[in-house]
Structure 1
């Protein structure tokens, strides 16, 4: 009987030891779970029943993030190169509305743009610069108000070809009331509207000059009526990033200011052989002249003094369609060019037809002395004139001058300009 009792006592002690070890293990597991719960949620505690882990499971469920349904698309793709400066950038969103789009270059300069009225897209409202890296930061929200964001970069192309731009304006120069700004390009322009939008000519008084193309490489600007004396005018070029032809970009971005001087408009009447010079109001002067003869009549129309030369050489070999005797005068004084085809108002020391008849090869001749005299009629007119002054020829037997023959755009009606 005693032997049986001893055996039962040993069994009980063994069971107690196993339970103690199991309890210790359970406490260890519970401690680990309590630690994990504390790190993830900062609240709750371990289970006292030794099972543990209940708090950790609840925390994992609460931490699951909610993702916005809005899907942003930025064109071009992140890291893209050789992007076209025009129409190469757009931001769009699906299942949401755009809230913020910020596009900046490496210096932090922002690109202006606008979100469409439906909130689904954004485009720049200005031309991007060539050879520049931009960063795009965009945000959108879905119907639940959850935000989606995107940050990308891209680089615009560096032009392989550029076009040179030249005009007839000197910075801060002074010109007559008929001055026409003539812009010439070194290559043919195909995107004429883009170039026209990239050049403006306007006066401080609100006068705006409109552009007119002559062919594909010349663009002239003039207002509807002559400029007002004293007007400050500015030519603004914004062509540096404009694609003027496929793969060819402009090269200039600058402002050129100039001033309109006093009023002087001269009218040459080929039938009376006189030139009336008006300085405004009743201030006029009449000068005897000789115009083109019947074989070589002067052009009719409104022309503008384009250049002034104290002395120049005139040779019939450089002028087309001259009829009659050839000529070569090496020292023509007080010459002012009116057309590219060779029409001048100039001093004449070799003839005596002034006020009497038309005896020239198309030019307007005014009495002068050999070598040029400032006291002569030609010298006085030369010294009172400036580039941009109007010279209008009427009643000649010749045809009307073409608008691109010199600065003769005033001959073209405004509705056709």
Structure 2
């Protein structure tokens, strides 16, 4: 400050001194600004509230920066936790218009969103991810062109409860043309439409499988018609951000691919005691069988092989509503399950009714040897079959199988699926 005072003193002596004074005036103004930031005392000149200095009738001004009239509001507040992943984030401005909004997670992955047409707000395009910290960097401009900026962060809620998700698909598995994707949840689902939006089943040929609820915890998917052989199908789960019931979220975000194998559809005619195996391209084979007797008639309808066992035990005590003699066969060969209620296509070494009469307790029996023979009719059918193959039963005296008894959804008309 004293340097500025001496500069003005020199300025009173002639033309040469005037030139020096002008040079010192610029330097003095700079020094004045520096001194004003550090110490308001010791100056020969005076400093007003706007930072102007005067001496000998001259002045220099250092104007205060202007502040943007745009007022940014980010919801939720900076540092917020347990933010709802749906509709929990919004950016708004008053007194200006938004120019940029960038929302990123801890890995720098950006959240899609858009500024409204009037420039006053921004929202994400979809739900955020649960249990994730986000940073929001927003800028706006007021009518004078002055910029306002804000940077905040928040964390979405970490669900205290989740519903487990289990299905019948093995990654990269190979299944028959009748394969139905059956998903079971560990808790009752209340927001069924939201869950349907979080699970898709699509084929590489454009085929889309539609979902159908059986109760509150089972969701099955199938296309209108059987899958085309060779189709690559992908089950896509996007459930971690879905509130499946109040306070309960899904537990999985993943893709599960599988492939549809060769064509095989078998038709059992219980009245004719035959099973016709259609392998496509005009290739068929007719096999003598025995179906359920009059007291324990087989189900009618379209069913799907859900599992295969080379040998299994069959006991009437494990099947409801069996009429007549009880049974317990410890070594039933070449068994392929069709329903959860206990219907199988299986090898039979203890009967001679094949092609003649219906003598079983509801299953479809095919001739076999004790212990199972690969060269028998049952063994050949077993070895040619895969999970997902279709077995239709017709002309039985039994009722039509329900859609949730095994993977029997094909029995339900598409209009009601």
Please, what TM-score do these two structures have when normalized by structure 1?
A: 0.86
Query: 3-state SS of the aligned residue for 1:381?
Result: helix
Is residue 109 of structure 2 the alignment partner of residue 137 of structure 1?
Answer: no
Write the deviation string for residues 239-293 of structure 1: whole angstroms up to 9, x where unpaired: 2232222222222222211111100000111111111110113111111111111
Is residue 253 of structure 2 the alignment partner of residue 249 of structure 1?
Answer: no
The residue that corresponds to 1:6 in the other structure is none
Give the Å deviation of 1:96: 2.6
Write the deviation string for residues 339-376 of structure 1: whole angstroms up to 9, x where unpaired: 11111111111111111121111111111111111111
The residue that corresponds to 1:367 in the other structure is 367
What pairs up with 1:201-350 in 2 under 5 angstroms?
Answer: 201-350=201-350
Change in 2 beyond 3 A, CA 1:269/1:68:
same
Any gaps of 5 or more consecutive residues in structure 1? Answer: 1-22
Change in 2 beyond 3 A, CA 1:120/1:399:
farther
Q: Is the 8 A contact 1:33 1:53 kept in 2?
A: no
What pairs up with 1:376-415 in 2 under 5 angstroms?
Answer: 376-415=376-415
The residue that corresponds to 2:41 in the other structure is none
Q: Which moved further from structure 2: 227-236 or 139-148? A: 139-148
Q: Is the 8 A contact 1:98 1:141 kept in 2?
A: yes
Is residue 38 of structure 2 the alignment partner of residue 38 of structure 1?
Answer: no
Give the Å deviation of 1:71: 2.1
Query: 3-state SS of the aligned residue for 2:406?
Result: coil
Change in 2 beyond 3 A, CA 1:152/1:40:
farther
* RMSD of aligned Cα (Å): 2.6
- Cα distance in 1 for partners of 2:201, 2:217 equals 18
Any gaps of 5 or more consecutive residues in structure 2? Answer: 13-20, 35-44, 47-53
**Alignment size in residue pairs:** 385
Change in 2 beyond 3 A, CA 1:68/1:188:
same
Query: 3-state SS of the aligned residue for 2:293?
Result: coil
- Cα distance in 2 for partners of 1:40, 1:198 equals 66
Report the structure number with the largest CA radius of gyration. Answer: 1
The residue that corresponds to 2:59 in the other structure is 55
Give the Å deviation of 1:157: 1.6
- Cα distance in 2 for partners of 1:332, 1:300 equals 23
Give the Å deviation of 1:390: 0.4
Query: 3-state SS of the aligned residue for 2:365?
Result: strand
Q: Which moved further from structure 2: 195-204 or 331-340? A: 195-204
Q: Is the 8 A contact 1:34 1:52 kept in 2?
A: no
Is residue 87 of structure 2 the alignment partner of residue 95 of structure 1?
Answer: no
- Cα distance in 1 for partners of 2:266, 2:320 equals 26
